[in-house]
């Protein structure tokens, strides 16, 4: 199937052709014709499947051909709710890209940046608003935006919004919208909470599901190294340098860990920076822009900061630390191998992460192959890792006998406490 068979107008087809997309992804092929008919949609698709274009392209067409009313000053006709600043910015960027031949206006509004420029953009007149729930409610409260003319509502990554505690904000936003509108809900998982939200929001929706969140993309080559925690940094540097990796997204569990690793990489001559919730939006935007254009080699990110990152043809993802939640592993490695492109996901597994690796493999229902550690990297020494990795046997150091030749007495717990006091 080609994009021309989906019923899209020439201006949109021209924009898609300029992006060199050969054919629609499964979610696009199934969702676009349904959305063009004006139906509500409940779509199950994880990131990397082309879901943004699946709702952006038909939304642009409906707005441009007057099917959902005409331009109405500062009252937008379409609203996209997203869980994070980065995802909101990227969705709005996609709208600009696909709608470049159409006379439609859009803007992204989110926290972490000044509110006045966003107010100014709204005052100039907007067709489409892409927003995070909190900042949107701030603008509604200040009467800077009128949501009474919304004809199309999109909830993007709805499951993540619920995970982040946005359900109350979402319900508040819904209270400002007109009752008669088209609703599109996209979620990587179909939990009980998502079902409740869908039941209250959607009107006889069409169900579109192409990939479940627990399924890793087939285009991602996964592997793991069992390595001592103290040797992870050296192994990462060796992989980057010897593999000549030019673009690597590295995941850590904590903000402090992301900062520390980025600083250590810079000291070793590798251009790197960290993004996380404590970074300003301006800093995060600069870092992401540098990473996308290639001036920044390594981006170290936490899970929340990386939510919604869309980087074309990202070749490498590294789990420097495995996530505590197995489903987050699927999301992480979904940053690569997107839209049919091939990618590589490497996990560095310490002794305290063996159980997490097993949980991930249980979720995936497959083994993640272990790779032999390259030379110059210290081999794992814990018992759990010895059972599966090739290590050199180490003899326990002999205890010195006392000068009188007697066997040394084993130190009691009381002796140890006294010695450390």
Residue boundaries of the structural domains of the chain: 3-209, 220-386
Give the class (CATH, top level) of 220-386: alpha beta
The answer to which of 210-214, 244-248, 303-307 has the lowest mean pLDDT is 210-214
Q: Nearest CA to 234 among 379, 119, 344?
A: 379
Taking 90 as the threshold, does the pLDDT of residue 85 lie above it? no
Q: What share of the chain in percent tops pLDDT 90?
A: 58
Q: Using one digit for the tens of pLDDT, what is the confidence trace for 119-174?
A: 999 999 999 999 999 999 999 999 999 999 999 999 999 988 887 889 999 999 99
3-state secondary structure the chain: CCHHHHCCCHHHHHHHHHCCCCCCCHHHHHHHHHHHCCCCEEEECCCCCCHHHHHHHHHHHHHHCCCCCCCCCCCCCEEEECCCHHHHHHHHHHHHHHCCCCCCCEEEECCCCCCHHHHHHHHCCCCEEEECHHHHHHHHHCCCCCCCCCCEEEECCHHHHHHCCCHHHHHHHHHCCCCCCEEEEEECCCCHHHHHHHHHHCCCCEEEECCCCCCCCCCEEEEEEECCHHHHHHHHHHHHHHCCCCCEEEECCCHHHHHHHHHHHHHCCCCEEEECCCCCHHHHHHHHHHHHHCCCCEEEECHHHHCCCCCCCCCEEEECCCCCCHHHHHHHHCCCCHHHCCEEEEEEECHHHHHHHHHHHHHHCCCCCECCCCCCCCCCCCHHHHCCCCCCCCCCCCCCCCCCCCCCCCCCHHHHHHHHC
Looking at residue 389, what is its pLDDT?
34
Q: Using one digit for the tens of pLDDT, what is the confidence trace for 216-272?
A: 567 789 999 999 999 999 999 999 999 999 999 999 999 999 999 999 999 999 999
Q: Nearest CA to 51 among 327, 310, 226?
A: 310
The answer to which of 6-15, 38-47, 383-392 has the lowest mean pLDDT is 383-392
pLDDT band of 380, cuts 50, 70, 90: low
Task: Give the pLDDT mean for 27-53.
Answer: 90
CATH topology of domain 3-209: Rossmann fold (3.40.50)
pLDDT band of 211, cuts 50, 70, 90: low
Looking at residue 376, what is its pLDDT?
63
Taking 70 as the threshold, does the pLDDT of residue 282 lie above it? yes
Under 8 Å between Cβ of 28 and 50 = yes
Taking 70 as the threshold, does the pLDDT of residue 409 lie above it? no
pLDDT band of 71, cuts 50, 70, 90: low
The yes-or-no answer to whether 3-209 and 220-386 have a common fold is yes
Taking 90 as the threshold, does the pLDDT of residue 280 lie above it? no
- Which residues lie closer than 8 Å to 245 by C-beta, 6 or more apart? 239, 297, 315, 316
Taking 90 as the threshold, does the pLDDT of residue 94 lie above it? yes
Under 8 Å between Cβ of 108 and 89 = yes
Under 8 Å between Cβ of 26 and 2 = no
The answer to which of 43-47, 289-293, 359-363, 405-409 has the lowest mean pLDDT is 405-409
pLDDT band of 189, cuts 50, 70, 90: confident
């Amino acid at each position: 199937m080609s994009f021309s068979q989906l019923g899209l107008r020439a201006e949109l087809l021209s924009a898609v052709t300029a992006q060199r997309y050969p054919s629609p992804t499964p979610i696009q092929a199934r969702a676009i014709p349904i959305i063009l008919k004006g139906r509500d949609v409940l779509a199950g698709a994880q990131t990397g499947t082309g879901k943004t274009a699946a709702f952006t392209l038909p939304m642009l067409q409906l707005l441009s051909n007057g099917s959902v009313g005409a331009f109405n000053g500062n009252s937008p006709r379409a609203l996209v709710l997203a869980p994070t600043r980065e995802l909101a910015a990227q969705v709005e960027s996609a709208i600009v890209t696909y709608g470049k031949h159409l006379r439609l206006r859009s803007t992204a509004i989110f926290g972490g940046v000044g509110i006045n420029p966003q107010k100014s953009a709204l005052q100039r007149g907007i067709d489409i608003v892409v927003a995070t729930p909190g900042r949107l409610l701030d603008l509604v409260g200040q009467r800077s935006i009128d949501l009474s003319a919304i004809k199309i509502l999109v909830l993007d990554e709805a499951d993540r919004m619920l995970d982040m505690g946005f359900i109350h904000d979402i319900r508040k936003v819904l209270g400002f919208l007109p009752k008669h509108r088209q609703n599109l809900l996209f979620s990587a998982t179909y939990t009980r909470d998502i079902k409740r939200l869908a039941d209250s929001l959607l009107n006889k929706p069409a169900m579109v599901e192409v990939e479940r969140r627990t399924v890793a993309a087939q285009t991602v080559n996964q592997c793991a190294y069992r390595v001592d925690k103290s040797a992870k940094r050296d192994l990462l540097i060796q992989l980057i340098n010897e593999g000549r990796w030019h673009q690597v997204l590295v995941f850590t569990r904590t903000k402090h860990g992301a900062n520390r690793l980025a600083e250590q990489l810079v000291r070793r001559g590798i251009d790197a920076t960290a993004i996380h919730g404590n970074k300003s939006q301006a800093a995060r935007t600069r870092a992401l822009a540098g990473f996308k254009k290639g001036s920044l080699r390594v981006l170290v990110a936490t899970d929340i900061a990386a939510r919604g990152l869309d980087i074309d043809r990202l070749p490498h993802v590294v789990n420097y630390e495995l996530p505590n939640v197995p489903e987050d592993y699927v999301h992480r490695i979904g940053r690569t191998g997107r839209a049919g492109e091939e990618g590589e996901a490497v996990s560095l597994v310490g002794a305290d992460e063996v159980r997490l690796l097993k949980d991930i493999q249980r979720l995936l229902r497959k083994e993640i192959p272990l790779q032999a550690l390259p030379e110059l990297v210290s081999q794992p020494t814990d018992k759990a890792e010895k059972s599966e990795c090739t290590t050199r046997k180490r003899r326990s150091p002999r205890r010195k006998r006392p000068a009188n030749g007697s066997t040394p007495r084993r130190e009691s717990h009381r002796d140890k406490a006294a010695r450390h006091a």
